[in-house]
Structure 1
Amino acid sequence: MLKKHFVLYALYFISTIIILYGLGYTKDWDNKSIIVAFMFFFGYLFGARSKYTLIVLLISFSILSIYFPTGIIYGKPTAAILEPLLQTNKLEIIGYLLAIRYKILLSILFIFIQILIYKCAKYHIKGNNYIVNIIFVIIYIVSLFGISIKNYQFNDDAFLKNSISSLMTIHAHKKEFKESIQDNSDIKIKSKIDYSDDTEIRIVVIGESVRKDYMSVYGYPNTTTPFLNNAKGIFIDGLVSAGPSTNTSLNRALFKVSPDENKIQWGVNFVSLANKSGYETYWISNQGTEGWGDDVFYGLSKLATHSNFLKQGGFTSEDHDDDEMLPILSRIININSKNKVIFIHMMGSHEPVCSRIGTYKPNFSTNNEAGCYAATIEKLDSFIKKITEILKNKRYKLMYFSDHGLSVAKNRSYHDVELYEEYQVPLFYLDSNINKHIYIKKSLSGLNLIDIYSTFINIKSNVTNEKYNINLANKIPENSDPLIYWEKYKHISSIQKKQKPITNLQSKLELKNVIKLKDNYSFSNKCISYIENINIAFPSVPHIYKIHGWMATADHKEPISEAVGSFIVNDKKVLFVEGEHELRPDVHMYFNLGANIGNDYGLVAFLDRKFVKKKNNIYIGYKDNSDHYYICQKLNQ
């Protein structure tokens, strides 16, 4: 009997091993997993006794195999794993497609085996044994859903039980955000601060990736802020961003937070405070409506009386200049005579910074990345000046702050969460009634921006602190060691790495040698890559191209530690130019590998334009210690 069914039993065994591996049980193996393995094996054994149960196995297990690529990488389903798969932003789709690129073959193999089991087993069916069918149903339910009897749980982390509970958690989180952000009942407006204030227009400009030490108004030796240098208003030197990225920073600046509880009060925010104070509110954005954090800001924007987005997708979905928001602003301020609060969310100096310059002509050459960064600061200065020109003859107040800074070198600019200057951002306040330039050096926390903002819109409330009065900035309480947030709350004093601003903006980048490879290279499926852009590196040097992207190991999604670079593949000729690693906390955050894994996934490489015949012939990869070069597989782009 055993010999007669040897092939079938072998298929049961192989399927059991694959389903355990594919559903993520081997990621967290314990004795309970052995019991689950027996459950699946006996499920096959009893399921093969009936045509109907065979069909159930074929269809349901084939559907389950869709999860295998994810289970192999991340393990059993949780809310943290499933939530990105339900999002539609670009990076998450790219990451998932890259992750499953080859592991989807296991799903295909598994489905093929299920078909074989069905075809082989159906010839051995003898009658329809109801007792056997009942046993199969019990085993099937327990293996996929688990069971609980008098608080005793068996197979508590069963696949479908986990999936359902995770989806419910995700739904609850989204529901909580949607319900909370609409609920401003916790806000009680006590009174106005100044009843003689007759301001018509209040504008909050939210900057992007601007660090203060590249602004001449804060002491940068090159003139990057010619207008702001002498503008009438209050300039605070000492604001510490709440986080090193847009999401971590603005979630804790635009909303009320309780650091001790690590809680964000979504219903208490910039827009709700203005709405509850009787202002007509407007949101104008050059960032996206979906993506990492974009959905939060999109939800916030919908609280405004009116909202305008230049982009209909994520922040990388379209390329718009910040100046395109100015005609919208001009139209809004002249719509009616109601007192307004207008929010403007810029793209500012977001990397790649050279792409942010657009048609703007800076007053210095942009021969390197630092030059491009400084040019975006000068463009910001021009943007603020244009806003004040639109507001001419209006009684206005304008508040500007940036979400975070960047690490800036001559050849690249990027996020470095361990860099002190990443958290040093500008805060200034222009007022049509102020007739002098006031400079105040004082350390403040980004967590208190909502308090400063409440005084900006001239209100006292039960959820904000009027001691942070922007009009009396010299009396604002100083915080010598503000809290910041990256993975957890900590003090800015914990950040020791520092970087002086680059002042020589004229120096040109020296290109590395291009090496012609012979037989010492191979296309590799051991690493995955994504090229984000290939463009002219610096506007003043059009013959230099910059390749910007990231890569990771195909199996564990860890960064590549070897020497990295770009490959040019043309007509059986392969060239290599060495590049540099770049810190990419966004990619690290997506793969969610933990703090012990580095985040230097990024690559930046430069080469002469003459080598770039076709952009789709550019690849990225690495060189090992034996001088063998590996060209990483890339997503079809």
Structure 2
Amino acid sequence: MNSTLIDSLLARRRAVSPWAGLYFLQSLLINLALGYPFSLLYTAAFTCLLLLLWRYLPRGQKALLGICSLVAACYFPFGQAYGAPNFNTLLALHSTNMEESSEILTIFPWYSYLTGLFIFALGIIALRRRKEEVRPRWNSLDSLCLLISVAAFFVAPVQNLAWGGVFKVIDTGYPVFRFAKDVIVNNNEVIEEQHRMAQLSGIKDSWTVTAVKPRYHIYVVVIGESARRDAMGAFGGHWDNTPFASHVNGDFFMDYIAASGSTQKSLGLTLNRVVDNKPQYQDNFVTLANRAGFQTWWFSNQGQIGEYDTAIASIAKRADEAHFLKNGDFEADKNTRDEALLTMTAQVLATERTQPQLIVLHLMGSHPQACDRTQGKYATFVQSKETSCYLYTMTQTDDLLRQLYTQLRHSGDSFSLVYFSDHGLAFKERGKAVQYLAHDDKFQQNFQVPFMVLSSDSKAHRIIKARRSANDFLSFFSQWTEISAKEIKNRYRFISEQKAGPVYITNFKLQKVDLTIWAAIFFH
């Protein structure tokens, strides 16, 4: 039997080897675990790469496969809920405290962790494979594997070039290499943004106030968390879970759109002046109120990480008084209640003050895991316990607003209160017993949030159907408080049915997208 025939038989044996099947399965699972769409091309190409490395560089193959299996096993639950790494996920990693981390870990369904363990187990099996003593000789199957591996590596860069982009090898579509690039690039962008934020938050604001004629003595801004508009009865939801908001006099906006799908990015674009799509952290609604002679208060049930190194905490720092129920250290592990903020507002309202007042409350609201917000309580069971708790968090927020409204009424001063949510959430594992909600940027409900204004002189429960954008919040704030500034241009009357023009959202890749065009593409 000649050497060519022997090589052919050995190649055929390797092609049908159970190890080839295991490598293919592991490649497929790694692809899915890292949050990228399934690709048969990249699954086959990575399998070919593993087969080649095993023959000619077995230790290198074990190192690569071991690292990839471990990362994929750990990331699988996150990847299924949040997708591949992006600016938002890396930003959340930088600004999430231990309490939020533990809550995130408990929200994923049990079978996500089981799949992660399965990926890890397959990796262990692959690592225990023993190298054959026969010295390998290059053959036609090796050439085919090399061709597929290399060709797949350059598919995405060549496509980018063909579509008018730039040819870059680092733009390869291989999930493993793409994951590493996405983590490094987005992490660098987050660090750069945080550095810019730290620089800007340490300098004086640049507001030029031209007029101050407040209609009310007390202004209150209540920032909700993770509340979808369609989950609140007062805004057209199917459940009667907001008895206060459903009947109180005020202005209720039925088409208010959040700036982005996560707290830090959305509020960064909402509460600050934005120039060239970049928040100017020194110029925010609190510094505007300060510049206009208001006394400002910030009460938060969200974390203060370190020395104000989140976008929202950097705004809070500018208030005359800022108090956090969570300090960002070990105390942040306590599941504090939003209701505790009412003790602080009561203390402020108990004292007569000559200056106009701005009070800001930042809630935990409906932040996942919702059952932690409600201590496991819910009024009506809907699909899953977590979904039921989520709907009940709306009732809790509604009751907090009722109590706050009562405090303001009893103060004897004129007042106006605005409540809105930073962003919505998307259903995961929809229709299953483990259905839950998480951050996303692929659904309209991620951006459709409640917005209402309740004033001491409101005469009716008024519905406003005109579309409004969180990107115009500073314009609203200027009109609402009647603080005029040279830097704020009012294109339309916010509390009205006047059309506002195109509305833009910023996705997790930091792309600014026209909502109407985006919705037409995704929901046609």
TM-score of the superposition, structure 2-length normalised?
0.59
Selected match of 1:324 from 340, 344, 347? 340
Q: Name 2:221's counterpart in structure 1.
A: 204
CA distance in 1, matches of 2:500, 2:337: 36
Task: Establish whether residue 229 from structure 1 lines up as the match of residue 246 from structure 2.
Answer: yes
Tell me which amino acid in the other structure corresponds to 1:323.
Answer: E
- The CA deviation at 1:416 is 2.4
Task: Establish whether residue 400 from structure 1 lines up as the match of residue 419 from structure 2.
Answer: yes
Q: Deviations over 1:124-143 (max 9, x none)?
A: xxxxxxxxxxxxxxxxxxxx
Selected match of 2:453 from 429, 453, 460? 429
CA distance in 2, matches of 1:429, 1:335: 24
Do the aligned residues in 2 keep the contact of 1:252 with 1:447 (CA within 8 Å)? Answer: yes
CA distance in 2, matches of 1:452, 1:269: 13
Task: Tell me the SS of whatever aligns to 1:235.
Answer: strand
- The CA deviation at 1:357 is 1.3
Q: Name 1:305's counterpart in structure 2.
A: 320
Q: Name 2:350's counterpart in structure 1.
A: 334
| Structure 1 pair 292–88 and aligned structure 2 pair: CA distance change class (3 A) | farther
Residues 488-499 of structure 1 aligned to structure 2 (within 5 Å): 488-492=511-515, 493-495=517-519
| Structure 1 pair 198–318 and aligned structure 2 pair: CA distance change class (3 A) | same
Q: Name 1:181's counterpart in structure 2.
A: 201
CA distance in 2, matches of 1:416, 1:87: 17
Task: Tell me the SS of whatever aligns to 1:252.
Answer: helix
- Greater relative contact order structure (CA < 8 Å, 6+ sep): 2
CA distance in 2, matches of 1:292, 1:440: 40
- The CA deviation at 1:230 is 1.4
Do the aligned residues in 2 keep the contact of 1:89 with 1:292 (CA within 8 Å)? Answer: no
CA distance in 2, matches of 1:84, 1:467: 33
Do the aligned residues in 2 keep the contact of 1:284 with 1:308 (CA within 8 Å)? Answer: yes
Q: Deviations over 1:503-541 (max 9, x none)?
A: xxxxxxxxxxxxxxxxxxxxxxxxxxxxxxxxxxxxxxx
Residues 54-203 of structure 1 aligned to structure 2 (within 5 Å): 89-90=97-98, 176-192=196-212, 195=213, 197-203=214-220
Q: Name 1:473's counterpart in structure 2.
A: 496
Task: Establish whether residue 253 from structure 1 lines up as the match of residue 270 from structure 2.
Answer: yes
Q: Name 1:355's counterpart in structure 2.
A: 372
Greater helix content = 2
- The CA deviation at 1:365 is 4.6
- The CA deviation at 1:468 is 4.6
Task: Establish whether residue 278 from structure 1 lines up as the match of residue 298 from structure 2.
Answer: no
Task: Establish whether residue 376 from structure 1 lines up as the match of residue 393 from structure 2.
Answer: yes
| Structure 1 pair 379–85 and aligned structure 2 pair: CA distance change class (3 A) | closer
- The CA deviation at 1:90 is 4.3
| Structure 1 pair 229–291 and aligned structure 2 pair: CA distance change class (3 A) | farther
CA distance in 2, matches of 1:399, 1:452: 10
CA distance in 2, matches of 1:220, 1:293: 36
Task: Tell me the SS of whatever aligns to 1:228.
Answer: coil
Do the aligned residues in 2 keep the contact of 1:362 with 1:378 (CA within 8 Å)? Answer: no
Tell me which amino acid in the other structure corresponds to 2:399.
Answer: S
Do the aligned residues in 2 keep the contact of 1:288 with 1:294 (CA within 8 Å)? Answer: no
Q: Deviations over 1:104-136 (max 9, x none)?
A: xxxxxxxxxxxxxxxxxxxxxxxxxxxxxxxxx
- The CA deviation at 1:390 is 0.9
Residues 560-571 of structure 1 aligned to structure 2 (within 5 Å): none
Task: Tell me the SS of whatever aligns to 1:243.
Answer: coil
- The CA deviation at 1:292 is 13
CA distance in 1, matches of 2:300, 2:483: 25
- The CA deviation at 1:320 is 0.5
Tell me which amino acid in the other structure corresponds to 2:463.
Answer: Y
Do the aligned residues in 2 keep the contact of 1:456 with 1:469 (CA within 8 Å)? Answer: no
Tell me which amino acid in the other structure corresponds to 2:260.
Answer: G
Do the aligned residues in 1 keep the contact of 2:475 with 2:488 (CA within 8 Å)? Answer: yes
CA distance in 2, matches of 1:215, 1:170: 33
- The CA deviation at 1:176 is 4.1
CA distance in 2, matches of 1:171, 1:213: 35
Do the aligned residues in 1 keep the contact of 2:205 with 2:287 (CA within 8 Å)? Answer: no
Task: Tell me the SS of whatever aligns to 1:237.
Answer: strand
CA distance in 2, matches of 1:354, 1:251: 27
Do the aligned residues in 1 keep the contact of 2:241 with 2:395 (CA within 8 Å)? Answer: yes
Q: Deviations over 1:462-513 (max 9, x none)?
A: 122334544x4223x4234433332121122324557xxxxxxxxxxxxxxx
The Cα RMSD (Å) is: 3.9
- The CA deviation at 1:414 is 1.4
Q: Deviations over 1:382-427 (max 9, x none)?
A: 1110100111133110011111111134621112221111110111
CA distance in 1, matches of 2:200, 2:461: 40
CA distance in 2, matches of 1:171, 1:486: 16
Q: Deviations over 1:136-169 (max 9, x none)?
A: xxxxxxxxxxxxxxxxxxxxxxxxxxxxxxxx99
Do the aligned residues in 1 keep the contact of 2:215 with 2:481 (CA within 8 Å)? Answer: no
Tell me which moved more, 478-487 or 342-351.
478-487
CA distance in 2, matches of 1:357, 1:483: 30
Q: Name 1:214's counterpart in structure 2.
A: 231
Residues 37-56 of structure 1 aligned to structure 2 (within 5 Å): none
Task: Tell me the SS of whatever aligns to 1:234.
Answer: strand
Do the aligned residues in 1 keep the contact of 2:198 with 2:309 (CA within 8 Å)? Answer: no
| Structure 1 pair 293–485 and aligned structure 2 pair: CA distance change class (3 A) | farther
CA distance in 1, matches of 2:462, 2:92: 46
In structure 1, the gaps of 5 or more residues are 1-68, 74-79, 96-101, 103-167, 499-637
| Structure 1 pair 443–330 and aligned structure 2 pair: CA distance change class (3 A) | same
CA distance in 1, matches of 2:440, 2:191: 33
Q: Deviations over 1:24-46 (max 9, x none)?
A: xxxxxxxxxxxxxxxxxxxxxxx
Q: Name 1:345's counterpart in structure 2.
A: 362
CA distance in 1, matches of 2:260, 2:191: 27
Residues 520-559 of structure 1 aligned to structure 2 (within 5 Å): none
Do the aligned residues in 2 keep the contact of 1:287 with 1:294 (CA within 8 Å)? Answer: no
Task: Establish whether residue 449 from structure 1 lines up as the match of residue 473 from structure 2.
Answer: yes
Q: Name 1:484's counterpart in structure 2.
A: 506
CA distance in 2, matches of 1:340, 1:347: 23
Do the aligned residues in 2 keep the contact of 1:285 with 1:309 (CA within 8 Å)? Answer: yes
Q: Name 1:504's counterpart in structure 2.
A: none
| Structure 1 pair 430–92 and aligned structure 2 pair: CA distance change class (3 A) | closer
| Structure 1 pair 346–170 and aligned structure 2 pair: CA distance change class (3 A) | closer
| Structure 1 pair 188–319 and aligned structure 2 pair: CA distance change class (3 A) | same
Do the aligned residues in 2 keep the contact of 1:206 with 1:345 (CA within 8 Å)? Answer: yes
Do the aligned residues in 1 keep the contact of 2:264 with 2:312 (CA within 8 Å)? Answer: no
Task: Establish whether residue 418 from structure 1 lines up as the match of residue 442 from structure 2.
Answer: yes
CA distance in 1, matches of 2:246, 2:508: 33
Tell me which amino acid in the other structure corresponds to 2:282.
Answer: G
Do the aligned residues in 2 keep the contact of 1:460 with 1:466 (CA within 8 Å)? Answer: no
Residues 505-524 of structure 1 aligned to structure 2 (within 5 Å): none
Q: Deviations over 1:77-116 (max 9, x none)?
A: xxx9x99999895499999xxxxxx9xxxxxxxxxxxxxx
Do the aligned residues in 1 keep the contact of 2:504 with 2:512 (CA within 8 Å)? Answer: no
In structure 2, the gaps of 5 or more residues are 1-66, 72-87, 105-119, 121-187
CA distance in 2, matches of 1:285, 1:348: 11
- The CA deviation at 1:201 is 1.1
